[in-house]
């Protein structure tokens, strides 16, 4: 496939230097369907990126599309702040019946604004308000968002520097396996908590991703998550699971923490919760934490009703039974097998892979190799990004709805890209 | 009209106590068109609220709706992060041709995430990064958003308390007429800046709304804005105009600061920029400020392409000539006349009004009267909210596309509500 | 008098560049008595500086010297942390009998560490602890010390920059007459407090100097202080008077706030409280504020017993009756007359003076004149410093024990220095 | 010995509840000489406390006393701010000749104010100013002072809570052996530094005590200190050794870090530097760090000349040769032998000891035992305090000038106190 340089002029002339993905993927995309994107020059791309996790059901999923078009055509309320609407009620009822009740989760639902960072900001505000403490513990290589509250618990030094002010009230702790198994889990954290002379400001909460997507596809073991939940309970800290990228079925179960059998105090959801890639997010919390005053946190786009419509449609279509979870785990095994073969094919490169469900990472001893592989994959028609503090991880994030054939096709392109960057 | 208590149960049972508008307006809305909303019980409401300014073109505006449906039907890219898309290019070209170039505005465009507070956070981060200083000056009764960076420059004590941490790096200054004309404009601010012993941390920037909507429809005079712009220029501070609620034609011109003839260094837009009430926002800044590194600020929903489609359609439909501005100013005069009559009808109540374009506020000596008026208006089928630190201002925010007849109808309901709360 | 360059080498070679007074006064002082200092080259200097207010009773005052030598000779406890000692008891009893009881002041006494900034830090910590709020209001051109807590409420931008971190939790308000009488006193401050939308974090306390010594000899009117005390009482803020430089009789009465008839909630004393120029400081507060836990604030040199000895001796020698206050006011009138004549002698220079008791400031339209006057005065054998944000104020701070003849002599040298810098 | 309740009334009535040592030792002390203190009721106490390390040369050391009395009698300058004085010069010359030059230490000397916390505040300010970063790394159970800058790097939660504001810009790391040898030294710290995604704000400096006195007599190994110094050098962080309690010969050598063979970038000294227990402190730093502007940090009592006199006398009397160091190490061995025997005498109590030079700690499995031992020792005429986060360590801090017989006497009383609290 040959890529003709697209007419990027207005982007380059008008858009801020902060733009990023358009630099790695110099195309102008026009249409998309399922796991395929099409640029204006007629090229087709297989998508192993899925809107950074916002498109678990694929592009313009026909089931959701039908519901959305029907709603828009009949002039359903589009913008609703936090007014009651029939679309919101339908979503809440589906969420309760399909997600919360079968899992015995007691959560209240907050619409904190339609982006992930809104959900995290609301979670942190509530935790601090409930506990009357300022400090939050986060983990190495965490990613929680770009507004100041979220950024303060995000690990990446480059993004932190963008704040322009010192980021305080957060303390990083080692994520699972951060110290290569040389230190017992939570030894340092627990010691800080039990010692009145440790200097650690007592945390209101701990915020964690079960799999750190942006941080490099770092997978926490279920045991580690259980020990963390136990630590939080024993030490009077709230446990916040940021399930923005890993929730909505990315790891198999609807919530990524289900496998560990824990019930976080607060959960954030965004990205794929709306189903169709339009902005939506939720902050969930145990009812006893719901000490918000009416209107104490607000926001114009909390009630993005078209997203409620597609969100409800997605829940009904995909989560009313356990098929989606099973399918994701099966697809995950397909990926693991392919990555296993790929790594075996490249001895001496330090090629390794890790992941859960349908999120996988591939690394090499040569940390620059990941970016080269992703670039070559793009030339070969595969959209795949890198993550990790040094962009050293090839990150596979196909749609959950991808067919086995498409998945196989993408894995073959990936394998070719690896070979061609040797 | 009689309001039957709607089936609110799922909202009350499942939604967080933080919910707010649904308490003032206990209805479940289903459809909406232009300036009318319809609840599920068949009641019709005239809308003087317009999604808190997100619906300047009315609900489900047919011109935008057609463009949106076409786009969705043909599987245009829905979710695009900051990838190049044909929809984004069309928006950028329209924005350049219709908005920036005719006004001789040199701005670069950043997509900071689709909500207002994302746009403000990006503006503050950039200002601090450019100037290498932490401090921001805001104004009394300012409203800029609920995430930590924006909340720190927001005035409302109730909302600030929600942060759970001390909000620092911001200093409030008196908004225009805050001290009832007893103090020369900017006397205090300039003295603090010129005196090396004043104790004011030198600000990176000043953030201002030309009309404070949430703060109580406080209208800054053009002279005051010009003096502020001059002060910023003389004292090496960036001027940020938060035009999230007052931009997109709310005060007449596309940008609310045009009347004053100033060119802010940074401008934030959101709410009605997307046109159809779906999330979208922009941060605009002078090219020399564009020192962002690629990806230094990011976010999943920066590329909400359906909003780009409706945004471009709105610009083409309403802003290619000067008709919209003229019409808004004419409608504004219609409101002013009605409010003038209304105040005259109620001597001794201290009834006063103020506003610009199609944003107006009505106050009474009895500060609780505003809420009573709004509640009665709802019963009479008019959606109208209050604002100000004590909710003491009835705030009129009809769609810019409202017809003179609808406007008159709403004003008559309002007058009746005032009479019936005497 | 001719000054031979002294052997400064070890100072220049070894002492940090931060050294300051030794640059203005390039002499090596050896002995001192009363209002005279003697350098190693045999030059005599009349002292209008008094250790920046730490030597209200003159250098090596013979009454205090006798008590100190007796104590040291008999091996009285020198260092005592906060243990009970006979010297501490004697001081406490004298302080109670001579200072607190006659003035009907109810204060508890805290020894916060022996320097002014220790006293201010303790005052701020206690105020925040009592009120459960972080914010402190200070005034333009305030000076409270160099450690981080005190520096955050100090106005001088140059000194603030030394912190190396953003200084937060403090908000400056205009000191008396800061805006040249163009704004009603406390209009802005009270408006911020009463308006729930003002954006001011509610203060725990207000800290004020009755006369700002370092800030430029800015004298607050008694009316203004009373209005401030009233505002604090009405708005539930603690009033802290920092009387470190202006207490111990500098303005006439023992406490500088006595003239205004107010009773601050917290008072800091240092500098001349020890009497002999050795480190000592006190934080005084109303008993109901004494919620400290034992040892919650500590410090090695809280019990500098030699200072307790000289402090008690000074109280007994000078404050058992009202003579000291009367004498100071009389000497102050002598200064005022001389400054009046001096200003009259220099029409067209904008020469103005201000002060209270024995602290006076002299300014000129040419702000650089003050430093020139002080430099020339040094050459003429008078130690006198400048203050104010631009060092634009000649600051007269003679010992309270200065004789009328010495005072006259110094004022004549000052007058000559003014003439010779014309 | 029977203790008659002393006349404590004025202390209890007038002094703040914050008072502390006077509660543990309910006596009123009057005189002191060498290692003995005498209360007003004629009781004698052997001192194993030494003013918390401020009296390394014993109480009212006759050599220093003579120099002090001579100086005071001849009216040497008592208070000198940072003016040049003959006393200051004599101190600087002695410090250079006796302390710095023989050790090949290149330091500039700053007089930051006369208390330890002043010295630490100055060190932190300078480090931040030099590096342009806010963050400081401190260690678990560190103690650096009570003003806000120092308190933020102090570990004790009880003392931190006294601040009344969140303490930020500091991050604790594990002190030597904090995790019982289960974790390689600096594994976590170095990993945080090398990983761009760790979330650690890059530190300007690391502040460390070589032996944590207040923290529980925790002794860092020389190897650990060398590894820390190496880490700081490799990672561009300044190394600050807070030698306030452990310097001036407490561990044997003049500086406690000499044994490790490292040269910190910044060193703080206070407590015994003045020699006689009067306030004095120093901040020392490498010349290339001396970027202070003149007067950027100041303070009234920087020039406590009587302390300069006794400080110089102490250096000349005790440090002109290596005798003091040898003697201290010998006395330390005497203590170690006695503690070894004491622990052996109490099997099953978990009695353990640790220390260096003349600072030693004794602990028991029953953490409350230490306070009981210290209380009983007081009844038996021995002043000895506890330290550690739970006051679980009996802390031995005799004067360096104590005789072998006195030391033996005190150790026997201690052994008796241990027996009698079984």
Kindly report the three-state secondary structure assignment for every residue of C235-258.
Answer: CCCEEEEECCCCCCCCCCCCCCCH
Q: Contact B199/C389, CB-based, under 8 Å?
A: no
Query: Subunits touching A (CB < 8 Å, at least 3 pairs)?
Result: B, C, D
Model pTM?
0.97
What is the fold of C8-61+323-421?
Answer: 3.90.1150
- Mutate one of B50, B300, B305, B306 to test the A interface: name it (highest A CB count within 10 A): B300
Q: What is the pLDDT of residues A189-248, one digit of tens each?
A: 999 999 999 999 999 999 999 999 999 999 999 999 999 999 999 999 999 999 999 999
Calculate how close chain A gets to D346, using CA atoms only, in Å.
Answer: 26
Asked whether residue B321 carries a pLDDT value surpassing 80, the answer given is yes
Residues in chain D: 422
Average model confidence (pLDDT) across chain C:
96
Cβ distance D55 to C277 less than 8 Å, yes or no, reads no
- Report whether B347 contacts B274 (CB < 8 A): no
Give the residue from B153, B161, B199, B201 with the most C CB atoms within 10 Å of its CB, the best one to mutate. B199
Cα→Cα distances B318→B31, B98, B243, B273, Å: 24, 10, 18, 12
Q: How far is D191 from chain A (nearest CA, A)?
A: 8
Mutate to test the interface with A, among B19, B76, B144 (most CBs of A within 10 A): B19
> DSSP per residue over D278-322, as a string?
S---EEEE-GGG--PPTTSS--TTTTBHHHHHHHHHHHHHHSSSS
- Among left, alpha and beta (phi > 0; psi -120 to 50; other), residue A277 is left
CA distance A399 to A55: 6
Q: What percent of chain B has pLDDT over 70?
A: 98
B238 touches B131 (CB < 8 A): yes
How big is chain A, counted in residues?
422
Residue A39 pairs with which residues in a beta bridge?
A: A29
Pairing assessment for the beta strands A44-47 and A238-242 based on DSSP bridges: unpaired
Q: How far is B181 from chain D (nearest CA, A)?
A: 37
Q: What is the DSSP string of A109-137?
A: EE---SSHHHHHHHHHHHHHHHHT--EEE
Closest-CA residue of chain C to A132: C132
Question: pLDDT exceeding 70 applies to what percent of chain C?
Answer: 98
Chain C closest CA to A81's CA: distance in Å? Answer: 22
Residues in chain D closer than 8 A to A206 (CB atoms): none
Asked if C165 lies within 8 A of A165 by C-beta distance, the reply is: no
Tell me which chain B residues have a C-beta less than 8 angstroms from the C-beta of A31: 74-77
Q: Closest to B195 (Cβ–Cβ): which among C140, C154, C158?
A: C140
pLDDT of the residue at C8: 53
Q: Which residues contact B85 (CB under 8 A, 6 or more apart)?
A: A28, A29, A30, B76, B77, B303, B305, B308
Instruction: Name the residue among A337, A336, A349, A332 with its Cα closest to residue A418.
Output: A349
Q: Which of D9, D146, D307 to probe by mutation at the C interface, max C CB count within 10 Å?
A: D146
Contacts of B92 in chain A (CB under 8 A): 10-11, 14-15
Whose CA is closest to B294, among A21, A144, A385?
A: A21
- Closest chain B residue to D132, measured at CA: B132
| Cβ(D142)–Cβ(D174) below 8 Å | no
Reported as a single tens digit per residue, the pLDDT across C187-198 is: 999 999 999 999
Cβ B174 vs Cβ B208: under 8 Å:
no
Q: Report how far residue B324's alpha carbon sits from residue B405's, in angstroms, rounded to the nearest whole number.
A: 17
| Residue in chain D lying closest to B132 (CA) | D132
Give CA angle at D20 (D17, D25), nearest 5°.
125
Residue B234: name the closest of B182, B186, B199 by CA. Answer: B186
ipTM for the predicted complex comes to 0.97
Percent with pLDDT over 90 in chain D: 97
Q: Model confidence over B54-86: pLDDT tens digits?
A: 999 999 999 999 999 999 999 999 999 999 999
Tokens of C140: 């333009």
Task: Tell me the nearest-neighbour CA distance from D17 into chain A, angstroms.
Answer: 22
Average pLDDT rounded to a whole number, residues B351-364: 98
Residue A162 in tokens: 């963008």
Judge: C134–B166 Cβ closer than 8 Å, yes or no: yes
pLDDT at D8 over 70: no
Order of all β-strands in the sheet with A393-396? A352-356, A359-363, A393-396, A385-387
Chain B / chain D CB contacts < 8 angstroms: 3
Residues of B in contact with C158 (CB under 8 A): 196
Statement: D76-319 belongs to CATH 3.40.640.10: yes
pLDDT digits (tens, 9 = 90+) for A108-152: 999 999 999 999 999 999 999 999 999 999 999 999 999 999 999
- Please tell me the predicted confidence (pLDDT) of residue D1: 45
pLDDT value at position C7? Answer: 52
Closest CB to D198: pick one of A168, A172, A197. A172
Measured between CB atoms, which of D8, D85, D88 is closest to C84? D8
pLDDT of B2 over the 70 cut: no
Helices (H) and strands (E) counted in chain D, each on its own, are 14, 18
Q: Which residues of B touch D (CB under 8 A)?
A: 165-166
What does the pLDDT read at residue A1?
Answer: 45
pLDDT at res. C30: 98
Collapsed DSSP state (helix, strand, coil) of residue C271 = helix
What is the nearest CA distance from D165 to chain B, expressed in angstroms?
A: 9
CB pairs under 8 A between A and B: 374
Q: Which residues of D touch B165 (CB under 8 A)?
A: 166
- Alpha helices, DSSP H only, in C132-221? 148-151, 157-161, 187-194
Which residues of chain C have a CB within 8 Å of the CB of B171?
171
**Least CB–CB distance from C196: residue in B153, B174, B389:** B389
Tokens for A334, please give them.
């397909």
Residues B200, C172: C-beta atoms closer than 8 Å: yes
User: Looking at CA atoms only, how far is residue A401 from chain D in angstroms?
Assistant: 32
Chain B neighbours (≥3 Cβ pairs under 8 A) are A, C, D
Which residue in C373, C412, C366, C397 sits closest to C217, CA to CA?
A: C397
- Say whether A188 and D183 touch across the interface (CB within 8 A): yes
Task: Provide the residue count of chain C.
Answer: 422
Whether residue A389 and residue D196 make contact (CB cut-off 8 A), yes or no, is yes
D215 neighbourhood in chain A, CB within 8 Å: 197
The C-alpha atoms of residue A361 and residue A370 are separated, in whole angstroms, by: 10
Region of C155 (left: φ > 0; alpha: ψ -120 to 50; beta: rest) is alpha
**Are C388 and B197 a contacting pair at CB < 8 A?**
yes
Q: Chunked in runs of 10, what are the mean pLDDT values of chain A (422 residues)? A: 57 96 96 98 97 98 98 97 97 98 98 98 98 98 98 97 97 96 95 97 98 98 98 98 98 98 98 98 98 97 97 98 97 98 97 98 98 98 97 98 98 98 92
Instruction: Find chains touching chain D: ≥3 CB pairs under 8 Å.
Output: A, B, C
At residue C1 the predicted structure's pLDDT band, cuts being 50, 70 and 90, is: very low
B270: Cβ–Cβ under 8 A, 6 or more apart, which residues? A300, B114, B115, B116, B118, B119, B244, B280, B281, B282
> Can you say whether the dihedral through the CA atoms of D130, D135, D139, D141 is positive or negative?
positive
A390 and D196: CB-CB below 8 Å?
Answer: yes
Separation in Å, CA of B180 to nearest CA in chain C: 11
Smallest CA–CA distance, residue B347 to chain A, in Å, is 33
Contact B199 C170 (CB under 8 A): yes
| Residues in chain B within 8 Å Cβ distance of C201 | 160, 166-167
> For residue D224, how many C-alpha atoms fall within 13 Å in the half-sphere facing its CB?
21
Among C295, C294, C290, C298, CA closest to C129: C290
**If pLDDT is split at 50, 70 and 90, which confidence band does D9 have?**
confident
| Bridge partner list, B45 | B37
DSSP string across B113-172: -SSHHHHHHHHHHHHHHHHT--EEEEETT----SSHHHHTT---HHHHHTTSS---SEEE
How many angstroms separate the CA atoms of C157 and C160, rounded?
5
Q: Residue B5 pLDDT more than 80?
A: no
Closest-CA distance, C394 to chain B, in angstroms, reads: 17
D79 and C59 in contact by Cβ < 8 A? Answer: yes
Residue among D18, D79, D165 minimizing CB distance to C294:
D18
CB contact under 8 A, A171 and D167: no
Report which of B179, B174, B176 is spatially closest to residue B189, judged by C-alpha positions: B174
Which residue of chain C has the CA closest to B192?
C140
Q: Which sequence spans correspond to the domains of chain A?
A: 8-61+323-421, 76-319
Across the interface, do D196 and A157 touch by the CB < 8 Å criterion? yes
CA distance C130 to C240: 13
At residue D1, the 3 state secondary structure works out as: coil
């Amino acid at each position: 496939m040959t890529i003709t340089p697209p007419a990027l002029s207005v982007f380059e002339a008008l858009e801020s230097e902060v733009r990023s993905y358009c630099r790695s993927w110099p195309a102008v995309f026009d249409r998309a369907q399922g796991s395929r994107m099409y640029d204006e020059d007629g090229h087709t791309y297989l998508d192993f990126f899925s809107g950074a996790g916002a498109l678990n059901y694929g592009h313009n999923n026909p089931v959701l599309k039908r519901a959305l078009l029907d709603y828009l055509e009949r002039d359903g309320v589009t913008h609703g702040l936090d007014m009651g609407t029939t679309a919101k009620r339908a979503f809440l009822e589906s969420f309760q019946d399909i997600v919360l009740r079968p899992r015995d989760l007691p959560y209240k639902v907050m619409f904190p604004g339609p982006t992930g960072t809104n959900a995290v900001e609301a979670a942190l505000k509530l935790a601090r308000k409930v506990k009357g403490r300022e400090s939050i513990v986060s983990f190495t290589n965490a990613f929680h968002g770009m507004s100041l509250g979220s950024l303060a618990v995000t690990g990446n030094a480059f993004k932190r520097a963008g704040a322009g002010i010192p980021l305080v009230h957060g303390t990083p702790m080692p994520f699972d396996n951060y110290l290569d198994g040389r230190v017992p889990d939570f030894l340092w954290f627990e010691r800080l908590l039990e010692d009145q002379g440790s200097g650690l400001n007592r945390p209101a909460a701990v915020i964690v991703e079960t799999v750190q997507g942006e941080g490099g596809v770092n997978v926490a073991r279920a045991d580690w998550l259980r020990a963390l939940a136990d630590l939080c309970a024993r030490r009077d800290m709230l446990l916040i699971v940021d399930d923005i990228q890993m929730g909505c079925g990315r790891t198999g179960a609807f919530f990524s923490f289900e496998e560990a059998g824990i019930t976080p105090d607060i959960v954030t959801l965004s990205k794929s919760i709306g189903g169709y890639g339009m902005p939506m997010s939720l902050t969930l919390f145990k009812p006893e934490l719901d000490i918000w005053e009416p209107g104490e946190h607000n926001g114009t786009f909390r009630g993005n009703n078209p997203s409620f419509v597609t969100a409800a449609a997605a829940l009904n279509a995909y989560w009313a039974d356990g098929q989606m979870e099973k399918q994701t785990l099966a697809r995950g095994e397909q990926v693991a097998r392919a990555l296993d073969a790929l790594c075996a094919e490249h001895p001496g490169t330090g090629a390794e892979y890790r992941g859960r469900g349908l999120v996988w990472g591939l690394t090499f001893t040569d940390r620059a190799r990941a970016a080269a592989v992703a670039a070559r994959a793009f030339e070969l028609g595969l959209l795949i990004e890198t993550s990790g503090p040094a962009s050293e991880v090839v990150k596979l994030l196909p749609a959950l709805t991808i067919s086995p054939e498409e998945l196989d096709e993408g894995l073959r392109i990936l394998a070719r890209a690896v070979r061609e960057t040797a």
